[in-house]
Chain A
Amino acid sequence: MTVIKKFIYAAAVMTGLAASLTSCDIASDDRFILEDEVVPQRNVLLMDFTGQGCINCPNAHDVMSELSKQYNTDGNTNLITVSIHAGAQAMSVDRTDFSANRIGLMIAEGQEMNDAFSINAWPTGAVDYINGKDNALLYAEWPAAVRTAFEKPTDISIEATATLNDNQIEVSTNVHSTSDQDIALQVWVIENGIKASQRLPDGSFDTEYTHNHVLRFVQYPVKSGQPMQLKAGVIGTDECSIPLKWTDKERWNRDNLQIVVFAFRGSDILNCTIANPGPATQPE
């Protein structure tokens, strides 16, 4: 066979193979596989690193909202969601000017956590991990990661109560473990229903966007938390008092606050809970 014929033959074979490649397509009615319903073994904390100037962040907010609707039913809050404003597309609280209707939502501790995750693109999230470089997730990964996290057993249970007294939030936490272990505790204040600007996917600005579960305060050091030594069967306790903020840079709505408490060791969050000092519940 001449070289030309060999080339034509090879080209014809490859063209035929190429044409047959579309037969590998997955038909539209075969693209969705139903998995078993998840039975939560614990609570799960989903953190979303976000920013008011971030165009795609509202898409991530929608994902969080869908996940909340799915897992927080019958009065139970199994999935705790927190939006942490951080990075180049976030606006610092220091730039807040209430007279100009400009409200920034980024606090220093949020940026510190963002840097600990080495996050340089937003939105990016984490499920049951804290300060871990390898554990940042794109928002398309959150639903599967939350499912997996719900099925992970834990030997830690946490209960927390929060009470509003004058201008203080008194937080009381009980931690129970079935084994002896050293953990760290962290307490956050989050706020729902904040009306502030947000860039939308079409590029426009919504100056009255409703921001929910925004991280407003971190009680203990970001990386080390509050150390706690637990003995099997013995309840560990923690009490703290958090002053309400009402300044020219930050003004909390006391009716929309919630307290998130979680136990962690290294980068792993062992369990978490949420408490309402006022009438607020986790919105969808």
Chain B
Amino acid sequence: MNLRHAMICATAAGLCVCAEPSQAQNKVAVHGSVQADILFPEKDHSIGAVEDYDSPILFNTYADVTLASKYVDAGLRFEFMKWPLPGYDPDFAGWGFPNIYVKGKLKGVEITAGNFYEQFGAGFILRTYEDRALGIDNSILGGRIKVNAIKGLSITALGGIQRVFWDWNRHNQVYGANVEGYFQDWFQGLRDRDVSLTAGLSWVMKHEQEENVTLAGTDYRLHLPKEVNAVDARIGFNKGGWNLQAEYAWKGQDPSFDNDYTYNHGQAVMLTGSYSRKGLSATLQAKRSQNMSYRTQRMRDGLPAFINYMPAFTYQHTYALPAIYPYATQYGPGEWAFNGSFGYTFPRKSPLGGKYGTSLTVNLSYISGLVHEGDPRNPINGSVMGTDGYKSPFWKMGHTNYWDFNLMLEKRLSRPVTMQFMYMNQRYNKKAIENEGGNIYNNILVLDTKWKINRKFVLRGEVQYMFSHQDKDEREFMAEHPERDQKDWFYGLVEFSWTPYLMFSASDMINVGGTGNNYYMFGLTGTYRSNRLMLSYGRTREGFDCSGGMCRYVPATKGFKISYSYNF
């Protein structure tokens, strides 16, 4: 029996002996959840859903249980995705107990053994997390100690092996330490002025066994560093509605597939300022990152094996058409990113607010690539591998990767009726983001209306239209691929709810400017206590499922889908 099996048995035994579904302070509380997403795929050549799957039913299933008490917590998660939903990495398929932990807590000291998630600062050098929609779970299997016993100081130290799908390679190790200082805990003057001042310092090191990376056409291989260090420093200020943050990260030599096996250092810097009070909010952010792809496996691309996370600086759209062209953060090449948002509520009974008040939100995101100068070539085979890579002057910005301006109005028209209107102007550099095509320019209109018929019934409708035009490169690409959806889109949705128990929805997304494909979807959702069941049937277009700047390609699908979740 190996260590993982022993931990599973110990945790399960602890749950059986101690568990009571009760929240009494001295007793042990048991919480958990079950989530299953099931697809019965059908072929549909008109939308490109032609893949042959290994099983007639595809599903991702998660079941986890957590035991919490005053001194000890423990948790266990079971996953079954032997035949996963479409679009996940081939290594995603598998099943087992990938997450097990035991945590002891006493007097401000917390010790965890097993799998854990952690983030230092904004995540520039360490962020481990789970995102089921993207298929990301880069938890660390090892040990962590957190000390909050000292007033105004928080210290964390950790070490272990990163999970990469169903692989825990003992040669892919991560170690780290973090110190956070809370100055308001030390200085009465800060507390008197309601000022919060924090500073943090972090270090992370990855250890990776040396791989054989041979230069094509030669008998030379690269001398790769086994350890790659990264450090991060940050400071934060908060008073009343004002919030200011600055963060800087540096990474040592880390030759990898992401940076063409070059030996330059990585850097990231971010400034954030925001102000909020009742009825008004404003945020301004700027970030520059270069060569900040930090993975436990250097010979990887796509989503797996990241140790760190570069925050997305674009608005996360939930409406269907604005989400067709999402931006994916460029870890390896680097980027300049700016984001600003402003929100204001016109008061009730004011000229612009009307009888019930009106909310206005404006958001602007701009992302550009960096300028690469020089022509680095190694003396062995003339490629860029083994060199210090291109120089990127700090203040120079390259081509536009993405631009997004959106304006949203939310207004109550009458007591039962509310309306949301959105206008969005978008520029999407498909060549920089997807390695194909050219630039796409979109203007999108969205109208979302909700009518609360009575206390039980709600009717909601959405209408969206995308006016799209393209540059010469993208028009050439579209001409080469007339079978792919392109140009203008229309979307309509009707949703009827019997709250809180049932909701019926019907929607259609039509590629009016290109193929004429329509992606219809019918859904029925039922909620009862902690259970939620959704049944749906229809077509889903190929595209990218994105969250926080991380994106997963999803192929076109058609079929019947069941989604179930239960929390206890």
B198 to nearest A CB, angstroms?
11
- Does residue B152 face the partner (Cβ distance < 8 Å to A)? yes
- A14: B residues at CB distance < 8 A: 177, 179, 201, 203, 231
Q: Is the CB of A24 within 8 A of B227?
A: yes
- A235: B residues at CB distance < 8 A: none
- Does residue B366 face the partner (Cβ distance < 8 Å to A)? no
Residue of B nearest to A89 (CB): B436
Q: Is the CB of B212 within 8 A of A144?
A: yes
* Interface residue ranges of A101-139 to B (CB < 8 Å): 102, 115, 118, 120-121, 133-134, 136, 138
Q: Is the CB of A121 within 8 A of B220?
A: no
- Does residue A74 face the partner (Cβ distance < 8 Å to B)? no
B interface, CB within 8 angstroms of A: 51-52, 87, 90, 150-153, 177, 179, 181, 186, 199, 201, 203, 211-223, 225, 227, 229, 231, 250, 252-253, 257, 261, 263, 265, 299, 301-302, 378, 380-381, 385-388, 431, 435-436, 438, 473, 476-477, 480-481, 553, 555
- Does residue A41 face the partner (Cβ distance < 8 Å to B)? no
Q: Choose one: A11, A21, A140, A147; the contact of B229 (CB below 8 Å).
A: A21
Task: With A24-B252, A138-B299, A199-B436 as known contacts, state yes or no: A32 contacts B378, CB within 8 Å.
Answer: yes
- Does residue A234 face the partner (Cβ distance < 8 Å to B)? no
Complex CA–CA separation, A36 to B146 (angstroms) = 49
Q: Is the CB of B212 within 8 A of A26?
A: no
Q: Choose one: A3, A21, A56; the contact of B231 (CB below 8 Å).
A: A21
Complex CA–CA separation, A24 to B473 (angstroms) = 44
Chain A 130-171 per-residue mask, 1 if CB under 8 angstroms from chain B, else 0:
000110101011111001100000000000000000000000
Complex CA–CA separation, A73 to B556 (angstroms) = 46
Q: Is the CB of B386 within 8 A of A140?
A: no
Q: Other CB < 8 Å A-B pairs besides A4-B186, A25-B252, A147-B212, 15 of them?
A: A6-B150, A7-B153, A18-B231, A21-B231, A21-B252, A28-B263, A28-B388, A30-B223, A31-B386, A32-B223, A33-B221, A63-B216, A142-B216, A144-B212, A147-B214
A103 to nearest B CB, angstroms?
11
Q: Is the CB of B476 within 8 A of A26?
A: no
- B203: A residues at CB distance < 8 A: 14, 17-18
Q: List 8 A-B contacts (CB under 8 A).
A: A4-B186, A18-B231, A24-B252, A53-B477, A70-B216, A121-B301, A138-B301, A140-B299
Complex CA–CA separation, A14 to B250 (angstroms) = 13
Complex CA–CA separation, A11 to B198 (angstroms) = 13
- B388: A residues at CB distance < 8 A: 28
Complex CA–CA separation, A138 to B305 (angstroms) = 15
Residue from the set B152, B214, B215 with the largest chain A CB neighbour count within 10 Å: B214
- Does residue A38 face the partner (Cβ distance < 8 Å to B)? yes
Question: How many residues belonging to A are interface residues under a CB distance threshold of 8 Å?
Answer: 57
B222 to nearest A CB, angstroms?
6
Complex CA–CA separation, A14 to B231 (angstroms) = 9
Complex CA–CA separation, A127 to B35 (angstroms) = 39
A125 to nearest B CB, angstroms?
12
The 8 closest A-B CB pairs, nearest first, are A66-B217, A143-B214, A118-B90, A66-B216, A144-B212, A18-B231, A144-B214, A55-B435
Q: Is the CB of A38 within 8 A of B153?
A: no
Task: With A18-B231, A118-B90, A144-B212 as known contacts, state yes or no: A33 contacts B218, CB within 8 Å.
Answer: no
A229 to nearest B CB, angstroms?
29
Residue of B nearest to A205 (CB): B476
- B231: A residues at CB distance < 8 A: 14, 18, 21
Q: Is the CB of B263 within 8 A of A31?
A: yes
- Does residue A233 face the partner (Cβ distance < 8 Å to B)? no
A interface, CB within 8 angstroms of B: 3-4, 6-7, 10-11, 14-15, 17-18, 21-22, 24-26, 28, 30-38, 53-56, 62-63, 66-67, 69-70, 89, 91, 102, 115, 118, 120-121, 133-134, 136, 138, 140-144, 147-148, 197, 199, 203, 205
A23 to nearest B CB, angstroms?
10
B23 to nearest A CB, angstroms?
35
Task: With A25-B253, A115-B52, A203-B473 as known contacts, state yes or no: A32 contacts B219, CB within 8 Å.
Answer: no
B428 to nearest A CB, angstroms?
14
A194 to nearest B CB, angstroms?
17
A168 to nearest B CB, angstroms?
32
- A133: B residues at CB distance < 8 A: 90
B433 to nearest A CB, angstroms?
12
Task: With A36-B219, A67-B217 as known contacts, state yes or no: A91 contacts B225, CB within 8 Å.
Answer: no
Q: Is the CB of B186 within 8 A of A24?
A: no
Q: Is the CB of B431 within 8 A of A3?
A: no
Residue from the set A70, A121, A140 with the largest chain B CB neighbour count within 10 Å: A140
- A115: B residues at CB distance < 8 A: 51-52
Task: With A28-B388, A54-B436, A142-B216 as known contacts, state yes or no: A3 contacts B299, CB within 8 Å.
Answer: no
